[in-house]
A and B are shown apart, each in its own frame.
Chain A
Amino acid sequence: MRISVMSQMQRSFSIDLPSLIPLQLPSRRHTHLWYVIPDEVKSTSLLKRYSQLLSQTEKDGVDQMRGDELKKNALLARTLVRTTVARYQTNKEVDPRSLMFKKNVYGKPEVDWQNCKNCNHQPLHFNISHTDSLIACGVTVHVPVGIDVEDKERKIKHDVLAFAKRFYSADEVNFLATIPDPEAQRKEFIKLWTLKEAYVKALGKGFSAAPFNTFTIQSIPGTEEGYSLCKTSEVTADPLEETKKCNGEWKFAPLELADSHYAAVCIEDDQANEGAPMRVIVRKTIPFVEDQLISERIFL
């Protein structure tokens, strides 16, 4: 009985698909960022094997998507999450299929360690983001993480400033308004969107917990890529004077991926790591086929 089960597993797994190269968990303040480019995954047999990794709920979710391209991307997104999390499992018996997921009370997806047989409970956090042409998954340890990716060329249907006035904070609108070139303005708008979205996702409490116009993400003077979060609050007697509270509790890393996408990573700062820089290690992957180290960046 045991032997036949083993051989069945072998048939469907270690022979057809090479095992995932195991990895050490990221250290504190490190984020591992994995991405897959859907256009590079063409093999229908590979996609079929990916679909075998998914739970029934996930398969139903993929089937709900309208159109082949959306279905494929949904499949790749779940595959990326499962295979990425599985890489860090020290117990080799765990295959991506056996991972379980749940949502926190606000709807943010998390690993459900308790219900996973053979899984080692790890303080691993993940977050996923996708566009038509790129799917990314960020992994951290001990601290929540949020990521967002957007196509650099994404066109905004509305006037950028009008859109910003409606949804962004006053300071962010002012910043965007100082950019004379409309194309440059659009790019900064998108970058800011990824940073804001990454923060809300790291917070993990849904949009209504942090409406976009209640916080400002601004660059730290004197740095090229440093960003800080300031909350706008109107508690002063003078309603025109907004007091801003800029805290260092959240760290941001703006990046570009594959020359085609803006990305942002946001992590909650771990008090134990006061002063230590934030590090992001970027890898491109086609799960079970190819992993490629792209970059290792430090953000102060």
Chain B
Amino acid sequence: MASLSATSLSFKAPSIQSTRISQVLRKASTFQSISFGRFQSSKSLRLQISCAAKPETVQKVSDIVKEQLALSADTALTAESKFSALGADSLDTVEIVMALEEKFNISVEEADAQNITTIQEAADLIEDLVQKKPAA
């Protein structure tokens, strides 16, 4: 009995210690990434902005497209899905643009609207426009 309790006690102690250790390690690693990786993290942030839009944005765009084109809820849409392949005509595209403007509170230039052919392109344009907006 005594030995068991001793064992259980001895087991407990390392786990607490290990948590503390891992926490410290975690702190150290973030510290590292900020100072040494300051370059890295900001660079990757920059890349993120000019490259792909956030998944949430892509999802919101997909939802709007599904609604406008009356697609079934289980239609598999990817970021690369082309509006025309989904059956969107010019009136649909314009309605989609208007819905996106309302949803994200942005204003899309006609020339830009014309260049949107996929969900990804719409999401990228939206994030670009949202970014450019003056801070509320």
Contact: A150 with B91, CB < 8 Å? yes
Tally chain B residues at the interface, Cβ within 8 Å: 20
Closest to A65 in B: B85
Contact: B85 with A208, CB < 8 Å? no
Contact: A66 with B86, CB < 8 Å? yes
Using known A-B contacts A70-B85, A193-B91, A197-B90, determine if residue A208 contacts B111 with beta carbons closer than 8 Å. yes
Contact: B110 with A64, CB < 8 Å? no
Interface digits, B79-104 against A, CB 8 Å rule (1 contact, 0 not)? 00110011101110011001101000
- Total contacts A to B, CB within 8 angstroms? 46
Q: A103: CB under 8 A from chain B?
A: no
Q: Which residues of A in the span 171-227 have a Cβ within 8 Å of any Cβ on B?
A: 193, 197, 206-208, 211-212
Q: Which residues of B in the span 40-85 have a Cβ within 8 Å of any Cβ on A?
A: 67-68, 75, 81-82, 85
Q: Which residues of B in the span 80-136 have a Cβ within 8 Å of any Cβ on A?
A: 81-82, 85-87, 89-91, 94-95, 98-99, 101, 110-111, 113-114
Contact: A163 with B98, CB < 8 Å? yes
Contact: A208 with B110, CB < 8 Å? yes
Contact: A70 with B114, CB < 8 Å? no
Interface size class of chain A, counting residues whose CB lies under 8 Å from the partner chain: 20 to 34
Contact: B95 with A64, CB < 8 Å? no
A-side contacts of B67, CB under 8 Å: 157
Contact: B87 with A65, CB < 8 Å? yes
**Min CB–CB distance B96 → chain A (angstroms):** 9
Contact: A64 with B82, CB < 8 Å? yes
Q: Which of B75, B91, B98 contacts A154 (CB 8 A)?
A: B91
**A166, B99: Cα distance in complex, Å:** 12
**Min CB–CB distance A131 → chain B (angstroms):** 7
**A132, B99: Cα distance in complex, Å:** 22
**A132, B87: Cα distance in complex, Å:** 8
Contact: B99 with A64, CB < 8 Å? no
Contact: B90 with A66, CB < 8 Å? no
Q: Which of A66, A163, A197, A211 contacts B85 (CB 8 A)?
A: A66
**A166, B100: Cα distance in complex, Å:** 13
Q: A2: CB under 8 A from chain B?
A: no
Q: Which of B68, B81, B95 has the most CB of A within 10 A?
A: B95
Contact: B95 with A156, CB < 8 Å? yes
Q: Which of B68, B90, B114 has the most CB of A within 10 A?
A: B90
Q: Which of A65, A66, A158 contacts B98 (CB 8 A)?
A: A158
Closest to B91 in A: A193
Q: Which residues of A in the span 96-148 have a Cβ within 8 Å of any Cβ on B?
A: 130-132
Q: Which of B87, B94, B95, B114 contacts A208 (CB 8 A)?
A: B114
**A132, B70: Cα distance in complex, Å:** 13
**A206, B110: Cα distance in complex, Å:** 11
When A and B form their complex, which 8 residue pairs have the shortest distance between CB atoms, in order from nearest? Answer: A208-B111, A211-B110, A207-B114, A64-B85, A70-B87, A66-B85, A65-B85, A157-B95
| Cross-chain pairs A/B with CB under 8 angstroms, 8 sampled | A66-B81, A132-B87, A163-B95, A166-B101, A167-B98, A197-B90, A206-B114, A208-B110
A-binding residues in B (CB < 8 A): 67-68, 75, 81-82, 85-87, 89-91, 94-95, 98-99, 101, 110-111, 113-114
